Chain A
């Protein structure tokens, strides 16, 4: 239990572990693994895990080291990390301190290139709609390249060989190494800013061929953004035909080599001279044709009747007037005649209609109808009269006083005033009042029953 007797501090333990690690582990190791939980702190330091099927390894990459990594590590990416294992006492853990990081499979630069292309493409920096058209006849071309490189002479010779009427402005810049892209970007911005006193109307950014590493500055974001922002059109002319850089993709035009830049940038003097000669011929030919046309038109005019016999025109007009008057008269005559003919026809048609006969026919019909109506009414009246007379006679016969005229009398009891219809209606001594025709009255006394 001797080991139990000694009490260690945390620091001592971590120190022992550190010593044990440094003794037993190689000073530098390269580890293959998959990136997990990648975090790039704003300080620039990166923290992530390397993982394989057996477990994970915590990793640190300081910003000073990470700056030289061209590609951006992504979760799930398979990488080869080189560094050493040490203890992180504050965290109580060991971790892998990486000083070099490469993607597995494709090279780091290729990966970085692909990532940059994808990023800027997504932002639209390569869009055709952003490409500026190049001037047809540039007057002042700024060439951004290394003063010492062959590219400058290739570019200058190819441009002036084709088109001497241009001023080339060499703007010496470093084209490879740390900071080269930034210097080129600054120069592009500065030339744009100096447009008032430096009338550059085209820019060429380029260099000769080299390894991908040599050309790397032309893949950097800062240069791509400066080319994109330039108001002056930019031609990229980098490396050999096969080399494609980010600068090529973002530039307004690409020359596959510095020598080819001349073909892209300027027209060929011989061709332009030929064009000028052609235009001079067109001018002369078309003017000659125009003059010939004028001559022939003038010749036609000279021989025209109008000019040769001006009185003829007046006579012609007179004749025309006469003809026209005749025609007009004839026309009026024809129309009047036609109207008259029409009238005769209408008159005949009306005559055929014989209105008086029509009227007579109607008059007879009316007379007949009146007779019929009268006899019908007379018959109807007689009929009604007959119907009325029978009840009148019967009514007259019913009047009791009418029988008095025929000798009948009406006898009333003078006492009672009632009609005497039978013997019992009177008593002896009663006064009988007998009414005769003509309001005559006879009074008599009942003397016997």
Chain B
């Protein structure tokens, strides 16, 4: 119950990182300032990030943990 959470999926971006990168990608493609091939690559990456964010939300499990006061004070 007091096991420390997160630390999972170090390779995957956090929701915040994913959204930030997604905004950059949308801006870049909309600006039309990058070559077409890169646009295609960025599009795929953006769609993957959106899917990643949706997965985070769908799989979210409303985790609740508790730090016991006694264990804390022992530290």
A residues near B, CB below 8 A? 135-137, 139-140, 142, 147, 156, 160, 163-173, 187, 190-191, 194, 197-199, 269, 272-273, 276, 279-280, 282-284, 286-287, 290-291, 293-294
Contact = CB atoms under 8 A, between A and B. Distances in A.
Report the interface size class on chain B: 35 or more
Contacts of B64: 156, 167-170
Contacts of A169: 5, 64-67
A135 B50 contact: no
Contacts of B32: 286, 290, 293
Interface in B24-75: 25-26, 29-30, 32, 36, 39-40, 43, 46-47, 50, 53-54, 56-57, 60-69, 72, 75
Contact of A167 (B5, B14, B15): B5
B16 interface: yes
Given A165-B57, A169-B67, 9 more contacts: A136-B16, A139-B6, A156-B64, A164-B61, A165-B60, A170-B66, A190-B72, A199-B7, A287-B29
A175 to B, nearest CB: 13
A199 B25 contact: no
Contacts of B5: 140, 167, 169, 199
A207 to B, nearest CB: 16
B10 interface: no
Contacts of A187: 69, 72
A279 B22 contact: yes
Contacts of A290: 29, 32, 36, 39
Given A164-B62, A197-B4, A283-B46, A170 B19 contact: no
B37 to A, nearest CB: 11
Contacts of A198: 4, 67
The SS class assigned to the B binding surface is helix
Interface centre among B61, B62, B75 (most CB of A within 10 A): B62
Contacts of A142: 67
A291 B32 CA distance: 11
Nearest to A170: B66
A135 B16 contact: yes
Contacts of A294: 36
Given A199-B6, A279-B23, A283-B43, A172 B66 contact: yes
Nearest to A280: B50
A269 to B, nearest CB: 6
Contact of A173 (B6, B62, B63, B69): B69
A135 B19 CA distance: 13
B67 A137 contact: no
A230 B54 CA distance: 32
A283 B47 contact: yes
Nearest to A290: B39
Given A282-B30, A286-B30, A290-B39, A165 B15 contact: yes
Contact of B57 (A167, A269, A282, A283): A269
A238 to B, nearest CB: 20
Contacts of B7: 199
A279 B66 CA distance: 37
A137 B36 contact: no
Contacts of A291: 36
Contacts of B6: 139-140, 167, 199
Nearest to B20: A136
A137 B30 CA distance: 25
A160 to B, nearest CB: 4
A168 B65 CA distance: 6
Given A165-B57, A169-B67, A276-B50, A283 B36 contact: no
A161 to B, nearest CB: 9
A31 B43 CA distance: 80
A308 to B, nearest CB: 24
A371 to B, nearest CB: 100
A426 to B, nearest CB: 153
Contacts of B39: 287, 290
A182 to B, nearest CB: 12
Contact of B67 (A171, A269, A280, A293): A171
A163 B53 CA distance: 13
A286 B27 CA distance: 10
A137 B69 contact: no
Interface centre among A165, A169, A191, A194 (most CB of B within 10 A): A165
